[in-house]
Structure 1
Amino acid sequence: MGQDTSRDLGLREKALRAAVTTAGVAAGAAVLVSVASSGLAVYFARRIVVPENQPEDLDILHVSGFDDELVVHLPATKDTILPGTYGLAFDNGRGLAQVGEVLEYDPVSRTVARRVASVISGDLAAARRGRWTGTVFTHPSQLDVPYEDIVLQSDVGELPAWLLPTAAPAPLDTWAVLVHGRGATRAEVLRAGRVLDSIGMPSIAMSYRNDAEVRDGGHSRYGLGDTEWFDVDVAIDYARANGARQVVVFGWSMGGAIAFQAASRGRNRGFIAGLVLDGPVVDWHDVLDNQARLNYLPTPIARLTLDMITRPWARSITGLETPIDLERLDWVTRAAELDKPVLLIHSDDDQFVPSGPSHALARVRFDLVTMPTYDTAAHTKEWNVDPERWEDDVANFLESKLEL
């Protein structure tokens, strides 16, 4: 009595083996989930900081008509059905067409036909895929304004830029420094060229570190504004050396984050009279949270992604020389430090960089921030929807707030 039989011992041994096996499988599964989660976080962390070429992922279904009356047929997307004038880049960026009004929209086939305002370069009829963009000029010669090719000398090397000296008979001694967004080029900022020329304000359309024109092979990493502002200082140096008494920094998207840093940390910050920002990143936490939602990232993975770009331990993974200080880039939290007039142009339909932080900053700093209402444009495409209104808002701000 009380002693195990051989049969009982065998059953217990089998049960023990089964329990050990089950525990091992569970532990292995946990390890696999952890590895997969870490791998996904690495992937998104690198997508945030590693510069990449924008894909041409829009099908060009058909091009009809004659050279001076072309119509392009495209899939109907939230972008391609918007009113206004846009760029359609193709042939790996070598071609660009200016695409104008919607002529026909078929909700059944989900296609749209738009008038081609101009083919800037390339053979649109031969193109099969393209990229929808707010950039409608590739070079200042297309603006009918004066320009010069110049080179800015930065600690990372030469930065190509365009000087738009203005055709006005009496140029202002207030200059504009134009800073494009993440993944774009200096061509993006040319949309401001005509209005600045009309009010006699010389401007510099600059490139900066990590641009396609400047990249150091595969080693370039975006600082999300935490490093690129150094190059804005170099542009201001050039402006001051050539007659500028003060400057206004324009920024599109990440260019807005760069502008905020130049105005608060730059050695030339005392010469910055104001900021004009289009679809700006006012708070990177909000932008990255939004991107996590759009990409269906679980919260733990999103948090690990943020850790990787903000902590020293992940430098070997991300390739960042120094972690990015997202707190320093949060201008809702830092609103009390703002000391320059700001024009915020930010559409409430912007799904890439939500307008919430811009509105928050405008509410708490109503003494310095002007924010007109825009509600139908996609990210940084307010000019494309209504260029006349955009240019009026910019001109009125510069002339009234800066007393030009």
Structure 2
Amino acid sequence: MPEAGTVRPVNRPGTVLLVSAAVTAAVAAALPLLAGPLVRARVTDAGPSRRLVPVRGHGGQDSQTYLEFDPDGFAAHPGRLSLRAASGGGLTVLGPPRWDATHRGRALRRTVERGDPSRVLLDGKGQLSGHLGETPEDFGFTYEDHRIGGLPAWVIPAEGPGDVWVIHVHGLGSSRSQCLRGVAAFSRLGFTSLLPSYRTSLDLPGRQHRSHLGVSEWAEIDAARRYALSRGARKVLFVGWSLGASIVLRTLQQAPDPSTAGALLVSPALDWPAIISAQLQKAGCPAFAARRVPSTFNLLRRKGEPVVRWKEMPGCFMQNYSPVPTMIFHGSGDQSVPVELSRQFASRQQDPVPLVEFAGAHHTLEWNSAPALWDQTVTAWCRSLGLDAGKGSIQEFSEAK
């Protein structure tokens, strides 16, 4: 029996359902306010990668040092890679993977080609990447240090008189060194390469701000083009890696110039709403919610962050794209930007856009997986554009058919 003066609770299912519905509605209303800033912070993070891989062992064979890794992880990626210790230091360049079934079951080994792995071994783990050097000198190039708009840039001059310049634009959370792998093919053609920095380049200490996904950065690449023209360039090729591809297209959209001979887009991060949705679904977000989140991108922005209007992004809606001869390199194993997005981009262009897929290559690792394919395709493409291979001079230029 209840005590005198107490009130027995009354079970009212309808009331409970109304309260539950109200809570659900409130959560649903608040979700965009939470999702927008969180997703924006993640997508625009211009800091370095924090993905580390363990080093399982090391040894020596045939007067060479090798490191051992998990056989089924990122270390199994085809081609040469580099490793930087978790605590920092220089790069250790590693040869292609090979498997040894006689030692510890099934071990994956990579031979040390250049660098000192002692710091990596002390840490027991490091960051694997496709970077194979930190300056042009590591690739045997003669180069010049310059500043464009107060930001550092490398110029790798052509051997002999050359009036074709190639501007290489790196991606998000990276630096100029990302692009060095792809320079040799253009150098052999007699072209000068310019590798500029922009505001979120990792080789600018203390300046790793949030990326604007090309909305602002394009002006720094346009400045690089104007610099090349002031140094004697008559025609300019662009090579954009990942976000760099988006920045390149934004540059061509905002500042079209007759000097542009073409654009090579590598693992291009173009359709950002689709990229965001794909990553959210990969993380377990329901498809309907993942498609909705990009529309919340501009909610509760930090002071100084611009509005990113998807309909003005050249890779999303191409009606404002200033067409130039364009080619795409994309790895079929890209886990960051699905290769299907490049297929869609190429298919909806009025003029043909060749898409070269690199079997099994992860994000921006096309050159690493198949350097000969990269070099041969670049050479053939430049010749198709009327660029006189081997001399660096320009024939009459016409749009690629």
TM (normalized to structure 2)?
Answer: 0.85
How much does 1:330 deviate? 4.6
Cα drift, residue 32 of structure 1: 6.1
* Structure 1 Cα separation of the partners of residues 287 and 211 of structure 2: 23
Residue 230 in 1 paired to residue 225 in 2?
Answer: no
Out of 225, 231, 237, the position equivalent to 1:242 is 231
Does the Cα contact within 8 Å between 2:331 and 2:360 map onto a contact in 1? yes
CA–CA distance in structure 1, aligned partners of residues 301 and 345 of structure 2: 32
Larger deviation, residues 53-62 vs 367-376: 367-376
Query: Is the Cα–Cα contact under 8 Å of residues 339 and 368 in structure 1 kept in the other structure?
Result: no
Structure 1 residue 133 displacement after superposition: 0.8
Query: Aligned match of 1:129 in 95, 101, 125?
Result: 125
Deviations 1:98-154 (A, max 9, x none): 11122216699775222222227874433411112111111111111110111110x
Alpha-carbon contact 2:33-2:300 (below 8 Å) kept: no
Say which of 315, 326, 342 aligns to 2:301. 315
SS in structure 1 of the partner of residue 310 of structure 2:
coil
Aligned to 1:198: 188
Larger RCO of the pair (alpha carbons < 8 Å, separation 6+): 2
Q: Deviations over 1:312-339 (max 9, x none)?
A: x4224xx552211222225364168452
Instruction: Give runs of aligned pairs for residues 158-197 of structure 1, distance below 5 A.
Output: 158-166=150-158, 168-170=159-161, 172-197=162-187
SS class of match (1:195): helix
Superposition deviation, residue 204 in structure 1: 0.9
Q: State the distance in 2 between where 1:151 and 1:287 align.
A: 33
| Shift in alpha-carbon separation, 1:25–1:292, aligned structure 2, 3 A | closer
Name the aligned partner's letter for residue 45 of structure 1.
R
Cα contact 2:81–2:94 (8 A) shared by 1: yes
- Given that 1:246 and 1:272 are in contact with CA atoms closer than 8 Å, whether structure 2 keeps it comes out as yes
Match of 1:98 among 85, 93, 97: 93
Query: Which whole-Å CA distance do the structure 2 matches of 1:273 and 1:27 have between them?
Result: 58
The share of aligned pairs that are identical, in percent, is: 24
Match of 1:297 among 285, 297, 303: 285
Provide the residue aligned with 1:306 in structure 2.
294
1:369 is matched with which residue: 353, 367, 372?
Answer: 353
Supply the RMSD in Å over aligned alpha carbons: 3.3
1:79–1:378 contact (8 Å) kept in structure 2:
no
1:208 aligns with 2:198: yes
Which of 308, 319, 326 in structure 2 is aligned with 1:324? 308
Query: Is the alpha carbon distance of 1:357 and 1:56 closer, same or farther for their aligned partners in structure 2, counting shifts above 3 Å?
Result: closer
Deviations 1:191-222 (A, max 9, x none): 1222222111111111111222347657x221
Q: Give the counterpart letter for 1:190 in structure 2.
A: L
One-letter amino acid of the structure 2 residue matched with residue 125 of structure 1:
L
CA 1:34/1:169 → structure 2, altered by over 3 Å: closer, same or farther?
same
Cα deviations by residue, 1:257-309 (Å, 9 ceiling, x for unpaired): 1111111112x533211101111123112211111112112346535642332
Larger deviation, residues 332-341 vs 185-194: 332-341
Cα 1:43/1:335, change in 2 over 3 Å? same
Deviations 1:335-375 (A, max 9, x none): 68452101211122222111123222323437342223422
The residue that corresponds to 1:275 in the other structure is 263
Deviates more, 1:180-189 or 1:351-360: 351-360
Task: Verify: 1:284 aligned to 2:267, yes or no.
Answer: no
From the superposition, tell whether residues 25 and 216 of structure 1 become closer, same or farther in structure 2 (CA, over 3 Å): same
- Indicate conservation of the 8 Å contact 2:272/2:316, yes or no: no
Instruction: Note if contact 1:340-1:368 (Cα within 8 Å) is conserved in structure 2.
Output: no
The superposition leaves residues 149-204 of structure 1 with CA deviations (integer Å, 9 ceiling, x where unpaired) of: 11110xxxx211111113x223x201011000111111000012222221111111
Cα distance in 2 for partners of 1:120, 1:234 equals 38
Contact 2:167–2:195 (8 Å) recurs in 1: yes
What amino acid is the match of 1:292?
A: L
**Structure 1 stretches lacking a partner, 5+ long:** 1-6
Q: Could you tell me how far apart the structure 2 residues matched to 1:143 and 1:217 are? A: 27
Query: In 1, distance between residues paired with 2:50 and 2:111?
Result: 23
Check the 8 A contact 2:215/2:308 in 1, yes or no: yes
Alignment of 1:50-61 (within 5 A): 50-61=45-56
Q: Deviations over 1:224-257 (max 9, x none)?
A: 1222111111111111111111211110111111
Give the 3-state SS of the residue equivalent to 1:238 in structure 2. helix
Q: 1:360 aligns with which of 310, 321, 344?
A: 344
Rounded Cα–Cα distance in structure 2 between residues aligned with 1:127 and 1:79 = 18
Contact 2:253 2:320 in 1 (8 A): no
Whether contact under 8 Å (2:199, 2:207) holds in the other structure is: no
Find the residue that maps to 2:356 and give its secondary structure: coil
Alignment CA distance shift 1:289-1:111 (3 Å): farther
SS in 2 for 1:372: strand
Contact preservation (8 Å) 1:56, 1:129:
no
Superposition pairs of residues 100-119 of structure 1, within 5 angstroms: 100-104=95-99, 111-119=107-115
* Structure 2: tracts of 5 or more residues without a match: 389-401
CA distance in 2, matches of 1:315, 1:117: 46
For residues 290 and 110 of structure 1, the distance between their equivalents in structure 2, rounded to whole angstroms, comes to 34
Give the letter aligned to residue 124 of structure 2: R
Q: Go from structure 1 to structure 2 and tell me whether the alpha carbon gap of 1:301 and 1:241 turns closer, same or farther (over 3 Å shift).
A: same
| Greater mean deviation of Cα atoms: 84-93 or 181-190 | 84-93
Structure 1 counterpart SS, 2:387: coil
